[in-house]
Amino acid sequence: MTPYPEPGTPCSVCGEPLGPASGAFCDSCGEPFHLNQREDLPGKDCGRVWINEDHLGLEFACDRCLNPPSALEEVLELEEAAAFVGLAAAELEAAAAAGHLPHRRTGSGILLFSRRELVAWMEARSGGA
């Protein structure tokens, strides 16, 4: 694993791509997240870094590990899921219809996806990279 995520890697918290010098890996889940590493440039933070006084080293944690979402926050409808993974809603809908992407459908026909299942599906799609 590289020490810093590659620019363009999706943030595991907000789904937006990371920029240069703006990401870190969470020590808890191992996923990349926005962490502005430059005080002289504006940036987004989707987590924190602090000094662990027991180990005298830096610890990194994403907001999802620091503040785990409720079960309801884990569920995304089609448009939210598409924005989260950075794909067109039609592509997600086709993957769900083909049985490649786990989903649920409400009584009124709305597709629902789990964040965890979306992340796993995206990793499988990219060959686990």
Same domain, 63 and 108: no
- Domain end (from 30, 45, 67): 67
For position 64, what pLDDT does the model report? 84
Compute the distance between CA of residue 33 and CA of residue 116 in angstroms, rounded to an integer. Answer: 15
| pTM (2 d.p.) | 0.55
Tokens found for residue 13: 């918290």
Q: Domain limits at 36?
A: 1-67
pLDDT in tens, 95-123: 999 999 989 888 888 999 988 889 889 88
Compute the distance between CA of residue 122 and CA of residue 117 in angstroms, rounded to an integer. Answer: 9
What share of residues in the chain are helix, strand, coil (percent, to 5)?
Answer: 25, 20, 50
CATH number at residue 112: 1.10.10
Same domain, 62 and 109: no
Phi-psi region of 52 (alpha: psi -120 to 50; beta: other; left: phi over 0): beta
Same domain, 49 and 91: no
pLDDT in tens, 56-75: 889 999 998 898 766 667 88
For position 78, what pLDDT does the model report? 93
Same domain, 2 and 62: yes
pLDDT in tens, 39-53: 888 888 999 999 988
pLDDT in tens, 15-35: 889 988 789 999 988 999 999
Average pLDDT of every residue of the chain:
87
Residue 35 CB partners (closer than 8 Å, separation 6+): 22, 23, 24, 45, 46, 47, 48, 49, 60
Same domain, 50 and 93: no
Q: Does 79 score more than 90 pLDDT?
A: yes
Query: What DSSP line would sit under 34-87, residue for residue?
Result: E----TTS----SEEEEEETTTTEEEEEEHHHHSPPPTGGGEEEHHHHHHHHTS
Q: Does 1 score more than 80 pLDDT?
A: no
Q: Which residues pair with 116 in a beta bridge?
A: none
Same domain, 84 and 26: no
Same domain, 31 and 57: yes
Count of domains observed in the chain: 2
